[in-house]
Structure 1
């Protein structure tokens, strides 16, 4: 009788990769050691040889996704570096919309998580800003990226509406701007508006540096 196929050895990398596939497919709430074990065709208890607990597993997933971020060219102009970081965050967020909220709400624990932060700080420094201004523009930029991408990924995963609908019942006398801009608000193009927000942040930094 011919021997059966050899089972691939279980490794931490395989466990984390499978956890990411599970989250990408079914959301963070779907992640459990039992379901992960079933996906890998192993007993759930055997997973603990590779990750101490679920929290460590989630940290591993975050690290794996962060590693997908391509760093900017340090020789590029500062504004090009900021655009690159922003576009990389958006690319990874759209590739892993269920994971992005974890990236946005958990403090990095390894060097790969701090790399984009260092890149943003360095870009603002290269713009000619001092310490206080670097920090102010960094926090503003990070808050924008986080908020914009949380909104877009929530629309992708069904956790939020994909458009901003202004009720017809709103009184135009009380809400004139909402009524005037209702159609534009309802047809928001996430890519266009994201790029516009990035350019506003760059313009603000350039203006601050020129004073």
Structure 2
């Protein structure tokens, strides 16, 4: 039987998969932007006067960055859908089907169960907002140091406290049922 916690853990894996793909896209955009900066520089040696080559290179790099940005935008959309699915676990009062299927940890009330899920989901909502801000600035970010900071922030996910998340999810885990190995004697 699939428990709400197992479903939630699947969503966490889905999130991490999108984050990993997003890191690759951000890196491609940052690299393209850095190359465009060098394409405008004076480090071309004998090709300094080759304007058509400069323009061709610039267009190619802009296309590459824009294509990666579109893929990143799609990934942020997937992250938003994942957070939306996570929020379902916090809506006992709204969704009676979830309330009827509630079979969480017997040591927590429905309200406590809901509050724990809300805290974890809030971390992901805040991280989604940060990723959305990065998405909307990265294409125009031609400072390589800032781009590297964006990539690091994307990977580190500063709004998600993994230790607290594990502690909270541990609260939702039903206690292990021990089976007695001793027989009662009359």
Larger radius of gyration: 2
Name the one with the larger helix percent: 2
TM-score by length of 2: 0.36
The structure whose RCO (Cα within 8 Å, separation 6+) is larger is 2
TM-score by length of 1: 0.33
